[in-house]
Structures are given as structure tokens and as C-alpha cells.
Structure 1
């Protein structure tokens, strides 16, 4: 069912402040439009690491930016799966609450979302441009 971790995002109230931290304090390359709701952070070992505004996460998940109180601050993780519909059905059959039914996002990715045991946001995705890992990732000693 699960192929790999497709994305990790820090869910924040202030994207610009988070961008400053990752760029200016940690020295990482960050792609971001000032005032935007989303940013990507380039870091080795992560297929996709991003900063996501809580209000944008609420809109993507619940269809309403005003639902921010239903989205926890912290980190979200998405799993690339063979089929978003099948994976969503499988956790539903195991009585796990799905908070966003499968849908196709405007950027072409299929997603569904659920709350993780910690209370953080989790999701399933089918990402047409990143369906399989082409090279295993392993860290070694220097």
C-alpha cells in the first residue's frame, strides 16, 4: 500500500518567519514568494520538505481557511501510495477517521488526509511526477 514518504511539511501560522528560520538561521535554500502560503526547503534526504500555512492546510483539508483550529501546528507527513482511494478505504475499514476524502489537487496530485495518532495531520498521495524512488537513500560514515 505505502510506497514511500512523499512529503513532510511544517505547519505554521507565519510562513515568512519560518522561511527566515530555515534560510537565515539554518542556511538552507528556500523557494518562497513573500506573503505566500507555502514554501519548499531544499535539504538532502527529503524528497519534499515544505513550510505550509495553517490556514492553507485548513482550506486544502476542510475546504475552508476558517477551519484553522482543526489543523494542529507542527509537522504533517504524506505517504505515497499505490492508490489514494484504496488506501483511504483501507484505513476507513479499520475505523480510522478520514478528514479529507480523496480529491485531485489543482497541481495534479491526488490526496486524502487523516489525523495521525499524535494528533498531527497525515495524508496519502499519488504524485504523478514522483511515483517511485529511483535510488535508495542510505547514510554512511564519512
Structure 2
């Protein structure tokens, strides 16, 4: 087998209206609709795929190895890349103005990436990020 890329990623939701509001309205993704399925094709592909232990995600987000009980445990993560760290900060402010609650706002991670994170309606850990090594 010779995997070439991530061909697709879709969230699975029990709350389609809430999810559509986040991805289409708040994040501004150009989603099309076919029946009840929202999608976009030919969106630039993933530059990273990983298997991230929950304890590491909790450490990154909260500085502890246990995921807080008041938040749903994420089963996946997706990061949306922005052009620079200031764009991450601006996106956070825009989304907060629309009511989005963040786990943490824009911050510089020890590995050099600027990231802000929140949980989607379907329990996906979503990052808004600037990853310098993807821009050079």
C-alpha cells in the first residue's frame, strides 16, 4: 500500500445545525450542500497526520495529563493554518465576538507553532494555527 495523502476528513455530528454554524458561518469555510451533507472539495490537503495520546493533548491544552471532566474528550483534532501569528490572534477575536469559547487563546507552543484551540459541537479538538515550517 502506498498512501498518497489524506483524501478526506469529515466530522460526524448529532447536531448538524450547530456544526454547520461553526464551520460555515463562524470559520467561513465555503461549504456546499448536497441533501443533508455539507462539504468542500479540493481544499488544500493536510500537511500532518498523527496519533496523539489524550494525555499529551491534555498536557498541551491544560498543562496536566488528565482531560478535564467538564469537557468532552476529543476523538480527533484538526488544525486550520493561518498566514501568521497575528492572524491567529485576529481569528480568535473574530470567533469570540460570534460566541465561540476557547480552551486557550493564541499562544506560542514550545515547538514554535502559534495555536489557539476549542472543542467543536461534535467533540473535535480544533486548532487555529500558524506553523512556521509550513511557510518557508
Deviations 1:15-72 (A, max 9, x none): xxxxxxxxxxxx67xxxxxxxxxxxxx8524310001010110111112112354462
- Counterpart of 1:19 in structure 2 is none
Please give the TM-score of this superposition, normalised by the length of structure 1.
0.58
- Counterpart of 2:79 in structure 1 is 78
1:96 deviates by 0.7
Please state which structure has a larger fraction of its residues in strand: 1
Alignment: residue pair count: 93
The alignment yields a C-alpha RMSD, in angstroms, of 2.2
Q: Which runs of 5+ in 1 are unaligned?
A: 1-26, 29-41, 133-142
Work out whether residues 54 and 71 of structure 1, in 8 Å CA contact, stay in contact via their aligned partners in 2: no
Distance 1:106 1:71, change over 3 A: farther
- Counterpart of 1:49 in structure 2 is 49
Q: Which runs of 5+ in 2 are unaligned?
A: 7-45
Distance 1:71 1:59, change over 3 A: farther
Deviations 1:68-94 (A, max 9, x none): 544624211000013111111111110
Please give the TM-score of this superposition, normalised by the length of structure 2.
0.60
Secondary structure of 1:60's aligned partner? helix
